[in-house]
Amino acid sequence: MIRTIPPVDRTTLEQGLRRLKLRHMRQHLDDINELALQEEPSYMDFLGYLVAREVEGRENTQKELHLKAARFPFYRTLDDFDFSFQNSVSQQTLRDLAELDFLRARENIVLLGPPGVGKTHLAVALGIEAVNQGYRVQFVTAQDLADQLYGALADGTVAQAMNKLLRNDLVVLDELGYVQFDAAGSDHLFQLIAKAYEHRSLIVTSNLDFQDWGRLFNQPATAAAFLDRLLHHAHVITLRGDSYRIRHRLTPPAKPDP
């Protein structure tokens, strides 16, 4: 009998998978074959499993790429955050935000507080969650953004730099408040927020209270217009307390036994 489904040799199979760019199937051929021999699934189930492995593999590869592209300064999640040390913010609030409704609604998050209270940690944790759910994220400090914008200004590529940043679903702008912007910088920072407004979500962290934001910008009116857009659809979280970095130095020494 001439068979429609003839036996296949390994090389031909691998070539086919390579040609179709089914890398994960190709790489796990032996495991999958082994598993099928053990479990003897139906042909449909087998095919379904094969496809699911490829899909999963691709999603993971994409996540890794997005994670790298996001340029987070460290990898820390909400699970790594000690809410009993930082009790000015509720764990539930952060868990709710990690559902990412704010991102789908193009809302912003503003994290305020003194150094060391966990602003960057929480911003990164939410950013990682967004990457895990398939969104594109970019982390940038205000200093790096200023450098990038001034660099772009020099070679006339500000619009490209800005569009590149805003191609992401979420931009984390960290440490707004340490650098002051001159007229051009203020203007570009304002344009960035104006372009992001209602189209992209931002997470902004700052050590400044809102009333001090005027200092950041060249003109107080720019600060006001910036805040107006930033805060129109925003979740503002104010963190208080001691720096986590120096927490060991804050524990009182043990009392000697009487």
Contacts with ligand ADP, residue ranges (CB under 6 A): 76, 81-82, 85-86, 113, 115-121, 205, 244-245
Interface with Mg ion, residue 120, by CB under 5 A: yes
Q: How far apart are CA 63 and CA 79, in angstroms?
A: 19
Q: Are strands 201-206 and 170-176 parallel, antiparallel or unpaired?
A: parallel
Burial of 177 (0-12, 13-18, 19+ CB in 10 A): middle
CB-wise, 129 or 174, nearer to Mg ion? 174
CB-wise, 48 or 73, nearer to ligand ADP? 73
> Please, what is the minimum distance in Å from the beta carbon of residue 122 to Mg ion?
10
User: Which of the listed partners (ligand ADP, Mg ion, none) does 127 bind, with a CB threshold of 5 to 8 Å by partner kind?
Assistant: none
> Please, what is the minimum distance in Å from the beta carbon of residue 76 to ligand ADP?
5
Q: How far apart are CA 177 and CA 217, in angstroms?
A: 10
Residues 188-227 that bind Mg ion (CB under 5 A): none
User: Which of the listed partners (ligand ADP, Mg ion, none) does 116 bind, with a CB threshold of 5 to 8 Å by partner kind?
Assistant: ligand ADP
Residue 52 has φ and ψ, to the nearest 5°, of -60, -40
> Please, what is the minimum distance in Å from the beta carbon of residue 8 to ligand ADP?
52
As a three-state string, the secondary structure of 162-200 is HHHHHCCCEEEEEEECCCCCCHHHHHHHHHHHHHHCCCC
Q: Which stretch binds Mg ion (CB under 5 A): 34-42, 83-91, 120-128, 196-204?
A: 120-128
Residue 162 has φ and ψ, to the nearest 5°, of -70, -45
User: Which of the listed partners (Mg ion, ligand ADP, none) does 217 bind, with a CB threshold of 5 to 8 Å by partner kind?
Assistant: none
> Please, what is the minimum distance in Å from the beta carbon of residue 174 to Mg ion?
6
> Please, what is the minimum distance in Å from the beta carbon of residue 236 to ligand ADP?
15
- Which residues of this protein are in contact with Mg ion, per CB under 5 A? 119-120
